[in-house]
Amino acid sequence: MRINDNYLNLQAGYLFPEIARRTSEFAEANPDANIIRLGIGDVTEPLPAACIDAMQQAVTEMGKRETFRGYGPEQGYDFLREKIAEHEFQARGCDIHANEIFISDGSKCDTGNILDIFAPGRANTIAVLDPVYPVYVDTNVMAGNAGPADGSGHYEGLVYMAATAENNFSPQIPDGKVDVIYLCYPNNPTGAVATREDLSRWVAYAREHDALILFDAAYEAFICDPSIPHSIYEIDGARDVAIEFRSFSKKAGFTGTRCAYNIVPRSVMGTTSNGTRISLHDIWYRRHTTKFNEVGYIVQRGAEAVYSPDGQDQTDELVHFYMANAKIVRQALQSLGIMVYGGVNAPYVWLKTPNNLTSFDFFDQLLNEAHVVGTPGSGFGAAGEGDFRISGFNSRKNVHEAMRRVTENLKI
């Protein structure tokens, strides 16, 4: 049996294992240190009460013959798709319909699975930001859309678009033709956002070059500035050239509950090898119904409750809670003269390491002097070297204590 050799091109999952190794080494050497983790992007606060109530009720329904549910529609129940279409899109003037929404179990899965419907091998040129969420890159390597990595960790064949402080995190539009563009706004890891003008440039590029935008908006709920678009479909013409990914993970604390969705408008087209134009919606529908079986009923009822009046208030509170944490992080770092970015419309604070330390050297300093774990920017791509990510996902008490130690103990 022959295996998929493309997997051999993957570099070892370096970042998080290395963080874990250094952290546990430190913990062993310093058993009394109370390490505070602001590294991984995982939520800490309980689910909104509205979601809890809805799921309790749904569990009860599953225990009675009259209300029991077996297989549901693979694309998700209409009760959830219609609420999403109304609240997330139509309320913002986006021309997106419930039947263009596919409920799924996670944006990580979706951004990987979408590659199934693209021509395999190097038929498409794929562009990603740098630094970048590693899943976009790894799944393209697995699918054979990229070759081996070079010394900087860049994979052959991918187009990397640096998004750094130097260009205000607004990468240059590619000179030549690329076929697929991954955009993530609010950005993981930098916390940057895209203005209406930024997104309009991308949509214009995609329309001109027959490119497809994969727009990951997993963090849209954290946008506080009313001028920043939450969806790419707020841009005219986007529904012909963009697929969008959304998640309840960060918005409503569903990282351990699992519910997300993607939007594939009926108007987005791709091309066959003989030049025929084909609706991506139709082949994604075939993929989704053949290779996926809906998110469970109980979880879909929990997600639906996000759109109840109580659910709306409670998810707003959650978002404000984490954003207040991010503000505390920003202010503490700024008080030390550290350059910080993000943390205003995103739960991630991105910082320039002091004294031109490498990302991992600053990781060690932060761990040793403040007993705080963050994420080295170099782990997200070569352009992240010298940068560092700290997340606002933790309790208020831990964030306060972490920043007290940073301001009092960090020797910079």
By CB under 8 A, residue 397 contacts a second copy:
no
The radius of gyration of the chain's CA atoms, rounded to the nearest angstrom, is 22
Could you give the dihedral angle defined by the CA atoms of residues 69, 74, 75 and 79, in that order, rounded to the nearest 10 degrees? -10
By CB under 8 A, residue 47 contacts a second copy:
yes
Look at the block and give the residue holding tokens 């430190």: 26
By CB under 8 A, residue 411 contacts a second copy:
no
Instruction: Collect all residues with Cβ–Cβ distance below 8 Å to 71 and sequence separation of at least 6.
Output: 293, 294
Instruction: Collect all residues with Cβ–Cβ distance below 8 Å to 334 and sequence separation of at least 6.
Output: 340
Stretch that binds a second copy, among 1-9, 230-238, 334-342, 358-366 (CB under 8 A): 1-9
Stretch that binds a second copy, among 58-66, 81-89, 228-236, 371-379 (CB under 8 A): 58-66
By CB under 8 A, residue 123 contacts a second copy:
yes
By CB under 8 A, residue 159 contacts a second copy:
no
By CB under 8 A, residue 291 contacts a second copy:
yes
For a second copy, the binding residue among 81, 83, 108, 246 (CB under 8 A) is 108
For a second copy, the binding residue among 20, 33, 120, 317 (CB under 8 A) is 120
Could you give the dihedral angle defined by the CA atoms of residues 271, 276, 280 and 282, in that order, rounded to the nearest 10 degrees? -160
Q: Are 235 and 200 in contact (CB under 8 A)?
A: yes
Residues in 190-229 that interact with a second copy by CB under 8 A = 210-212
Q: How far is the CB of 378 from a second copy (least distance, A)?
A: 19
Pairing state between β 36-37 and 372-373:
parallel
Q: How far is the CB of 182 from a second copy (least distance, A)?
A: 13
Q: How far is the CB of 142 from a second copy (least distance, A)?
A: 7
Residues in 320-359 that interact with a second copy by CB under 8 A = none
Structure tokens at 396: 């208020």
Stretch that binds a second copy, among 7-15, 95-103, 158-166, 347-355 (CB under 8 A): 7-15
Exposed, middle or buried by CB within 10 Å (0-12, 13-18, 19+), for 356?
exposed
